[in-house]
Amino acid sequence: MTSLADIWPPFAFTLTTPRLTLRPILDADIPAAVSAARSGIHEPGKSPFSTPWAELPDDELAPNMARWYWRCRAGFSREDWTLLMGVWQDDEFLGVQDLGARNFAVLRTVNTGSWLKKAAQGRGVGKEMRAAVVCYAFDYLQAEVAESEAAAWNRQSLGVSLGLGYEPNGLARHTWGTKVEEVQKVRLTPESFKRPDWTLHVQGHEGLKSYLGL
Ligand SMILES: CC(C)(COP(=O)(O)OP(=O)(O)OC[C@H]1O[C@@H](n2cnc3c(N)ncnc32)[C@H](O)[C@@H]1OP(=O)(O)O)[C@@H](O)C(=O)NCCC(=O)NCCS
């Protein structure tokens, strides 16, 4: 019988690190993602996201998250893709790590975004999950640059970036909710990447690669 992964190859994709499993969020995983977000991601009133989605009231947060996951899947094309991966430690959903690109075949540049529930922050998980997607991008997709950005005050996110060897790549002013925010852009190449001391395990690479037209 045809499986879901036969229909949409990204569903067969999995990255494994010493502590974590990263895999695309299935509909059955959305309740775990919603519970993790509801348990708290950041201080009230200090959103690390340009769209303050994590501050929505409970009855709006859940459908908004589901719509975002469906939108990323539905909008996934070779020219513009975002792979949203749930981050699991054993059976516990910790957060989301995404990897995406526009016109990757030419630009060979990926971007990333992530969040963890508060209870999972500050113990190296953010660094481990970012290292996983960057290793994959450089070593399997032959990316030449990985970009990211965070509010200039976001020490946790910039700590992950700088710890992995990203270099500052300019300040930008972005719309943040209804306000303006200074955003620090950062940039990593295979040469500047401070590689983890573990080996990434990848499943489903060939299917994803051909789906991406690479
Ligand atoms: C950003 C986030 C994913 C980072 O994950 P994390 O697991 O908390 O971070 P880690 O424990 O892996 O820390 C990584 C590095 O940042 C440093 N760091 C973490 N918190 C820090 C802080 N408050 N101040 C300074 N450095 C900090 C750590 O020392 C570590 O550096 P090192 O490995 O060189 O010692 C997580 O904190 C989070 O979800 N925050 C809220 C949402 C968010 O900000 N998302 C990103 C939006 S751009």
Nearest alpha carbon, ligand 1 atom 10: 124
Ligand 1, CB cutoff 6 Å, lining residues = 41-42, 48, 95, 114-116, 121-127, 150, 154-157, 159-160, 163
Average pLDDT over residues 9-33: 97
Q: Over pLDDT 70: what percentage of the chain?
A: 100
Nearest to 148, CA basis, from 190, 180, 101: 101
Mean pLDDT, the chain, rounded, equals 97
Ligand 1 centroid – CA 214 distance (Å): 32
- Predicted confidence band of residue 144 (pLDDT cuts 50, 70, 90): very high
- Looking at residue 35, what is its pLDDT? 97
What CATH architecture is 4-143+197-211? 3-Layer(aba) Sandwich (3.40)
- Looking at residue 80, what is its pLDDT? 98
Ligand 1 centroid – CA 38 distance (Å): 19
Domain boundaries, the chain: 4-143+197-211
Q: To test the ligand 1 pocket, which listed residue (19, 22, 43, 156) has its Cβ within 8 A of the most ligand atoms?
A: 156
Tens of pLDDT, residues 25-70: 999 999 999 999 999 999 999 999 999 999 999 899 999 999 999 9
Tens of pLDDT, residues 92-106: 999 999 999 999 999
- Looking at residue 177, what is its pLDDT? 87
Nearest alpha carbon, ligand 1 atom 14: 160
Count helices and strands in the chain by DSSP H and E runs: 7, 9
Tens of pLDDT, residues 145-197: 999 999 999 999 999 999 999 999 999 999 998 999 999 999 999 999 999 99
Ligand 1 centroid – CA 157 distance (Å): 5
pTM score over 0.75: yes
- Predicted confidence band of residue 89 (pLDDT cuts 50, 70, 90): very high
- Looking at residue 192, what is its pLDDT? 98
Ligand 1: nearest atom to the Cα of 42: 41
- Looking at residue 56, what is its pLDDT? 95
How does DSSP assign 4-59, residue by residue?
A: HHHHSGGGG-EEE-SS-EEEEPPGGGHHHHHHHHHT-SS-TT--SSSS-GGGS-HH
